[in-house]
Structure 1
Amino acid sequence: MLFSEELRAQAQPIMTAIHEHPFVRGIATGYVPREALIFYVEQDFQYLSEFIKIYANAITKLKDREEMKFFANSINFILNSEIHPHHVFCDIADVAYETLQHATPAPKAYLYESHMYRAADTGSLLNILAAFQPCPWTYSEIAQKQTKEHANHKNNPFKSWIDFYAKSANESEGSLSNSVFQWIDRLAENATPQQRQQAMQFFLKSCELEWQFWEQAYHQEDWHFKELLTTEKNSHNKKLSYNRKTTIQ
């Protein structure tokens, strides 16, 4: 069995739970609460910004220019294409996208970002690929399943969102998800059992965090003591205000 097949088999219970999550089912049925859509976009904008940095970090570990190109194209996709599904959510929620780009990462988003950086810090390209693969893989799976269910009918306001990820999963040059799984298999061939197990854990934890990401958005799970956690920024703003008054006087 290929290592990628092992990864998908182990993650299947999580993938099933993602398909059944009320936010994901809401995309299929055409209704997700406005507050959930807004929270999702706020958090995903910040998460994808960190994702770009992880990709950039991966490039520094490569020697092959074709492999570098792969990550460069992935960065371009996030910057210039993956804003489309965000706009879909914003249009449905009737909110300006630009107003949702300055949120503080919520606890689970913060954990996910930290998890990704931990994978990068191992210095292992196999770990990096395993850690970020659940993001494109789970979205591809969601879109393909909902397309098979004909959820992307013209009366579903989320049709464009479903079509976007379904198309990304079926690009002529090969989907991002399939390409990464093939890359993971090549790296796993020369990995020790311990290295494969470590990569497996990064993959499964990222799958769990994908489910958690939907969960936090659906319930708007934020920091309980958020005001305290933004004290430093507030103090900085107060200091600037005080300095302005002092200068004026």
Structure 2
Amino acid sequence: MTLFERLKADAAPQWAAYTQHDFVTQLGDASLPQECFRHYLVQDYLFLIQFARAYALGVYKSPTMADMRQSLAGVKAILDTELDLHVSLCAGWGMSRDEIENAPEDTPTMAYTRFVLDAGMSGDLLDLQAALAPCVMGYAEIGARLHTEGADHAENPYRSWIREYAGEAYQELAGGFAAWLDGTADQVLTENRYPRVLSIFEKACRLEADFWQMGLDVAQSES
């Protein structure tokens, strides 16, 4: 069992609340109100800026050149691919990159990003990886599941999002992250330390669920 699989099993309630959230279900069946998705996209763009900084922190925290290269790959994936996906989707609704980047951060966005950065600042590379893992691995799982269910059909307005995270490039990135997590754990993880790593992972899962809920709350506040 990989470390990710162990964390996922031991945090099963938190993982399920995150990866099977109503936001994800509605995104898959195309019933998600577009104002919810737009708000999520803008906030996720702002989130990813901080996530790129977290990966950059991983470069600093890396004990080896291989670890530094893996962290750098995470930075590049965000800056070169994921942010552009968000911009292209938002452009379809008449929103420019400047508008997105100048939007205010919502409270769940601030809570999650600062948690990840704090985990990395106060701990080592493994602590940072445990905070990053729910986002990296969860989006891969969600994208693959929705694709398998046929949710990325031509009539679904969210098909581009689903295809991005179900696609080969992102799936390979997630697989590389899982292997990277295992490599770090082989060097520094002990059974005495495991509860701390699990706690970081669980908290990040809860913050991911809060992030989805933030999107749904937009529709509730406007109804």
TM-fit CA distance, 1:206: 0.8
TM-score (norm 2): 0.87
Q: Is the 8 A contact 2:144 2:166 kept in 1?
A: yes
Paired with 2:79 and 2:3, the residues of 1 have a C-alpha distance of 30
TM-score (norm 1): 0.78
Compare 26-35 and 124-133 and name the one that shifted more. 26-35
Aligned to 1:83: 83
Paired with 1:213 and 1:219, the residues of 2 have a C-alpha distance of 10
Aligned to 1:114: 114
Aligned length: 217
Q: Which runs of 5+ in 1 are unaligned?
A: 222-249
TM-fit CA distance, 1:125: 0.7
Residues 6-155 of structure 1: matches in 2 within 5 Å? 6-87=6-87, 89-90=89-90, 94-98=93-97, 99-155=99-155
Aligned to 2:181: 184
TM-fit CA distance, 1:64: 2.5
The alignment-based identity, stated in percent, is 28
Aligned to 1:197: 195
Q: Is the 8 A contact 2:70 2:180 kept in 1?
A: no
Q: Is the 8 A contact 1:90 1:96 kept in 2?
A: yes
TM-fit CA distance, 1:51: 1.1
The verdict on how the C-alpha distance between 1:18 and 1:2 changes in structure 2, with shifts beyond 3 A counting, is closer
Paired with 2:84 and 2:26, the residues of 1 have a C-alpha distance of 18
TM-fit CA distance, 1:158: 1.5
Q: Is the 8 A contact 1:30 1:157 kept in 2?
A: yes
TM-fit CA distance, 1:162: 0.9
Ranges of 4+ aligned residues in structure 1 off by more than 6 Å: none
Q: Which runs of 5+ in 2 are unaligned?
A: none
TM-fit CA distance, 1:131: 0.5
Paired with 1:89 and 1:210, the residues of 2 have a C-alpha distance of 21
Paired with 1:210 and 1:109, the residues of 2 have a C-alpha distance of 9
SS class of match (1:60): helix
* Bigger Cα Rg: 1
Letter in 1 for 2:201: F
